Amino acid sequence: MTTIHDPKVRGFASDNYSGIHPDVLAAIEAANGGHQVAYGEDVYTARLQEVMAHHFGDGVEAFPMFNGTGANVVGLQSMLPRWGAVIAADTAHIHVDEAGAPERVAGIKLLTVPTDDGKLTPELIDREAWGWGDEHRAQPLVVSITQSTELGTVYSVEEVRAIASHVHEKGMRLHMDGARVSNAAASLGVPLRAFTKDAGVDVLSFGGTKNGAMLGEAVVVLNPDASEGLIYLRKLNMQLASKMRFVSAQLLALLDGDLWLRNASHSNAMAQRLRAGVEAGIADGSIKGVAFTQATQSNGVFATLPDGVADRLRKDFRFYDWDASKNEVRWMCSFDTSEEDIDAFVAAIARETAQG
């Protein structure tokens, strides 16, 4: 097959827009050839368990999945009885961007709480953490936090630990949507386990796709007492890969070494370069009418633009509106975003804002 897209095109809409990291692509090829037992009884999936234990500690178990929505649905479903509910931020991916899958597919009631920065706190959790024993109310039994959040912010180790302690004291469990968990680790400068298992997270959805994989996430059970029936629920929810070795091989390419960290650190650095470039333009007057709405702590930049500027910029650089009513946009950087990409985009922002 010949290439039918322009490989030079770059955008800032999503880290899902990027291709596959060459090392991940090579890992898929290396796992090819010959026969391996299907449905996860292959040597790559076995090796993945060892690598996950290295990153998260002994006793963890990883269940490779096709995608992040599937990982969230299956992971949460394994943590709850039929009458259970999940407390989450109102910006959470499970609430906003999964087409109702947690509720319609998993049958889970979501109890959402408004936040300014995408992060929950014990106080915010308590707005919905009530009503146990009331037969008229879905029982709040799990809290789900996203790391890094949908607004590009990052929970500190101490913040996760405080939430976990608060949740566990109430007899609840803690789930982490880690679609960009590698970016969070890179931002915090700590090992993956520091703000997951060691901080009290019970079940993690580990993301690979946004960090250089073709496809592939994993539900990582950090506390075996908090999850039940995953081997059945994965199949029930159509997330059991027959040729699982090719999913596991991708995660191995990222995690059996430091590729996961290098990719995440680079995409974070590009977001910082983008923000710094725009801030410099605001300071010298070459960029007009732009303001930031969130701290830039991972690989996303959130900003407001003057009327009409976003649509003009999108002629050359794809990105999404976050809140169109406020002219708020989201710019995401990827493992393959280059300094030249950033500098060209900053120049375009200056050019378009100068037009008024």
Instruction: Count structural domains, the chain.
Output: 2
Are 117 and 202 part of one and the same domain?
A: yes
Q: How would residue 10 be classed by pLDDT, with cut points 50, 70 and 90?
A: confident
Are 92 and 137 part of one and the same domain?
A: yes
Are 252 and 336 part of one and the same domain?
A: no
Mean pLDDT for the chain overall: 97
Q: What is the pLDDT of residues 112-149, one digit of tens each?
A: 999 999 999 999 999 999 999 999 999 999 999 999 99
Are 284 and 240 part of one and the same domain?
A: no
> Mean pLDDT, to the nearest integer, of 10-32?
96
CATH number of domain containing 272: 3.90.1150.10
Of 162, 191, 158, 190, the C-alpha closest to 174 is: 162
User: Does residue 4 form part of some domain?
Assistant: no
For residue 195, the enclosing domain spans 22-257
Are 121 and 238 part of one and the same domain?
A: yes
CATH number of domain containing 217: 3.40.640.10
Are 253 and 264 part of one and the same domain?
A: no
User: Distance between CA atoms of 51 and 45, rounded to whole angstroms?
Assistant: 10
User: Does residue 84 form part of some domain?
Assistant: yes
Above 90 in pLDDT, residue 72? yes
Q: What percent of the chain has pLDDT over 70?
A: 100
DSSP per-residue codes, 246-269? HHHHHHHHHHSSSHHHHHHHHHHH
- Asked whether the whole model's pTM tops 0.85, one would answer yes
User: Distance between CA atoms of 64 and 267, rounded to whole angstroms?
Assistant: 24
User: Does residue 347 form part of some domain?
Assistant: yes
Where does residue 39 fall: left (phi above 0), alpha (psi -120 to 50 degrees), or beta otherwise? left
Q: How would residue 258 be classed by pLDDT, with cut points 50, 70 and 90?
A: very high
User: Does residue 5 form part of some domain?
Assistant: no
Cβ atoms < 10 Å from Cβ of 25: 16
User: Does residue 62 form part of some domain?
Assistant: yes
Are 219 and 323 part of one and the same domain?
A: no
User: Does residue 13 form part of some domain?
Assistant: no
Are 248 and 153 part of one and the same domain?
A: yes
User: Does residue 336 form part of some domain?
Assistant: yes
Above 80 in pLDDT, residue 356? no
> Mean pLDDT, to the nearest integer, of 154-166?
98
